[in-house]
Structure 1
Amino acid sequence: MKGEMMTSDEKIKLVEELCMTPGISGFEEKIAEIIKRELKDVADKIEVDKMGNLIATKKGSSKKGPTVMLASHMDEIGLMVSYIDDNGYLKFATIGGINDQMLMNQTVVIHSKNGDVTGVIGSKPPHVTKPEEKKKVVPYDEMFIDIGAKDKEQAEEMVSIGDPITFKTWFEAFPNNLVMCKALDNRLGCYVMMEVLKRVDSKATVYGVGTTQEEVGLKGAKVTSYKLNPDMAFALDVTLSGDHPGIKPEEAPVVIGKGPAVILIDASGRGIITPKYIRELLINTGEKEEIPYQLEVSSGGTTDGTAIHLTKEGIPTGVLSVPTRYIHTTVSVASMDDVENTIQLIVAAINSLEINFKYIFSILNTF
């Protein structure tokens, strides 16, 4: 199949394209176009809804087979122009969860109607920074972007209020099959979803969904899960990797290189509590197929899975995540080996589903 025939270099190039392509929350169109291109010869149907969610349907080999939704959010964190001052400097709002500390002195790209404009988030030089100021994190609303404009009039010719802003960075292939870039959260999930659709051969009909606005409220997943109402769903995302200095093992026990994380609970249960059947499906598949995986009980953030499992009468939902260092920064790091194992695990799990899925699920009485 197409996914299996791709060389290692081709896979890396596709991940690079996904990560380097801009698409903050609400502006995911270019990511949807990549997914559409990759799946046009794989899916039986591709559609984009009113919120910009992309839905690619691959029909199962049996009309009586279950339906499975794979949700991978397309959006990345970013900024938006909120004000232009008299001297041509820009103020901005943050879009998604951003630590103010990582913003200072970043190079950014403002995506305007006239084309991309490069800017820098400026700061005081150390020569005039007071000792007490050096110890404080500057809040984002005290920062500004310098685009080289001489005044407000020139700046308004270059950019407009409401223009989305992404971080200007690069993609790097590290040793040990690691990759570094912005937006690994969640372009890795998008890549996993596409590869699963390319490889899966199941009785089940699979919906590959690129969701919008996950970083600002799981919005796209709420809409698409209501529309599709699948028998079961999986959110494909990334999770914190606790294998670097500054994190205690008990804070983030999942690490890079040991396979995807099967999420048992996230947000201390305020998010998803994975149903027994879904949990056992993933764990048993991993054991049977000898695919490495890790288990995670998280007190931190959540994913599209939270919105999906509360839709209509309830949709049995699981979350499978790629361990990633430095999430929500411009220098996230993850393993392509973990990505591949994520793909293999979810493909094997879906391929194992039988026509009597609903009957088995009702017997287990787990949801």
Structure 2
Amino acid sequence: MSDSIKLLEELVNASGVSGFEGDVRQLIRRHLESITDIEVDNLGSIIAQKKGTSDQPRIMIAGHMDEVGLMVSFITKEGFIKFQPLGGWWDQVMLAHRVTVKGTKGDVPGIIGSKPPHVLSPEERKRVVEMKDMFIDIGASSDADVKDMGIKPGDPIVPESPFTRMKKDNMLMGKALDNRVGCAVFMEVVKRLTDIDHPNSVFGVGTVQEEVGLRGAKSSAALINPDVAIAAEVSIAGDTPGVGENEAQAKLGKGPSIVVLDGSLIPNTKLRDLAVTTAEENNIPHQFQAGVRGGTDAGRIHLHGTGVPSLVIGVPTRYIHSHVSIMDHNDFENAVNLIVEVVKKLDMNAVKNLKP
């Protein structure tokens, strides 16, 4: 198993729903503290600075640490847990999946349940069960039982889906690929830059609370004050049945996506073109993604101060915002290679040329 796949496995199996990213932060610190200068902002985003041959320009590469998850909101007297979402969930993908409630006395396994199909009316069977009608069953028989297990309102709930190499071993499956993939990308970029001269200072950033409003991107950008930003992300794969060719263009195995438009960012066009030219010069496979709803940390970072030239480079991934996703490791490696090559070009003159 390659080192980068081992890193992805560690990151994916770590727990870190929005607002509770501590385990992921510690993992990033452990991997990078020997080769970077580490800071943590007041919201909890971790910033690893890799100095090159010059302090300027300051290049921010951000991947958010949080995964979509849930939070305990209420405990019924019968011992069932009601919950609120942390991040964007589609109700239809939630039922019958295993979860882990992170209580004060340790992890508690459970399953998302609802009214059983055997007692549903024909009309009820046709309707999608809404999140408000779901609950989590942890095998308790009363609210006192739940309390004895160390669970209370406000505790995080994490999807349970361990990292798995599929039959084709370049295909990887697990929870939280959105966006532990991005964390692994910036970590690998920083590691590979230790043996390469680069004319800038690179800041690899694991941001918090992206899934609930791009919050860590704002606080970490304020600390770094970057000259250029790249969001290392997943890209919504459109290569499954039922997805129109123009709905989501990214395909697994075709290289990283250079995102030309999303709901939060129109990228700096000169930085976008630099990435495309760099990919072509280095024979790095790449593709384009446009028009998908939603946003990334770059949507917040590019508005910092008087503006930061920003771009999103994504690893195509299927089934994000669910309990389990699938990606191609080759796309990951090519995303790392592309960002390393772009960073090598970003000296002060190149960054000045990105301005309108």
Answer yes or no: is the 8 Å Cα contact 2:231–2:312 preserved in 1: yes
Q: 2:24 aligns with which of 31, 46, 49?
A: 31
The alignment partner of 1:214 has SS state of coil
The alignment partner of 2:211 has SS state of helix
Q: 1:302 aligns with which of 270, 280, 295?
A: 295
Aligned partners of 1:176 and 1:88: how far apart in 2?
42
Q: Which residue number corresponds to residue 253 of structure 1?
A: 249
Q: Which residue number corresponds to residue 360 of structure 1?
A: 353
Q: 1:46 aligns with which of 2, 18, 38?
A: 38
Post-superposition shift, 1:142? Answer: 1.0
Q: Which residue number corresponds to residue 203 of structure 1?
A: 199
Answer yes or no: is the 8 Å Cα contact 1:39–1:194 preserved in 2: yes
Q: Which amino acid aligns with 1:61?
A: T
Structure 1 unaligned residues grouped into runs of 5+: 1-7
Answer yes or no: is the 8 Å Cα contact 2:64–2:209 preserved in 1: yes
Aligned ranges 1:310-349 → 2 under 5 Å: 310-349=303-342
Q: 1:142 aligns with which of 107, 116, 133?
A: 133
Offset from partner CA, 1:124-169 (integer Å, 9 cap, x none): 3332222111111111111111111121111111111111001111
The alignment partner of 1:246 has SS state of coil
Aligned partners of 2:350 and 2:176: how far apart in 1?
35
Offset from partner CA, 1:29-78 (integer Å, 9 cap, x none): 100111111112221x1011210100000111124x41100010000000
Instruction: Using structure 2 for the length normalisation, give the TM-score.
Output: 0.96
Aligned partners of 1:236 and 1:10: how far apart in 2?
19
Q: 2:61 aligns with which of 49, 65, 70?
A: 70
Q: Does 1:58 align with 2:50?
A: yes
Q: Which amino acid aligns with 1:127?
A: H
Q: Which amino acid aligns with 1:51?
A: L
Q: Which residue number corresponds to residue 226 of structure 1?
A: 222
Aligned partners of 1:295 and 1:87: how far apart in 2?
51
Offset from partner CA, 1:209-261 (integer Å, 9 cap, x none): 00000000000001111221111000110011111112111111111111000
Aligned ranges 1:138-217 → 2 under 5 Å: 138-158=129-149, 159-174=151-166, 175=168, 177-200=170-193, 201=196, 202-217=198-213
Aligned partners of 1:179 and 1:223: how far apart in 2?
32
Offset from partner CA, 1:290-344 (integer Å, 9 cap, x none): 1011112123111000000011100110100000011111120001000000000
Q: Which residue number corresponds to residue 244 of structure 1?
A: 240
Q: 1:128 aligns with which of 110, 116, 119?
A: 119
Q: Provide the aligned length of Structure 1 versus Structure 2.
A: 351
User: Which of 210-219 and 237-246 deviates more?
Assistant: 237-246
Answer yes or no: is the 8 Å Cα contact 2:210–2:217 preserved in 1: yes
Q: Which residue number corresponds to residue 117 of structure 1?
A: 108
Answer yes or no: is the 8 Å Cα contact 2:271–2:354 preserved in 1: no
Aligned-pair identity in percent equals 45
Q: Does 1:104 align with 2:113?
A: no
Instruction: Using structure 1 for the length normalisation, give the TM-score.
Output: 0.93
The alignment partner of 1:24 has SS state of coil
Answer yes or no: is the 8 Å Cα contact 1:25–1:95 preserved in 2: yes
Aligned partners of 1:94 and 1:359: how far apart in 2?
42
Q: Which amino acid aligns with 2:202?
A: V
Answer yes or no: is the 8 Å Cα contact 1:66–1:357 preserved in 2: no
* Alignment CA distance shift 1:239-1:359 (3 Å): closer
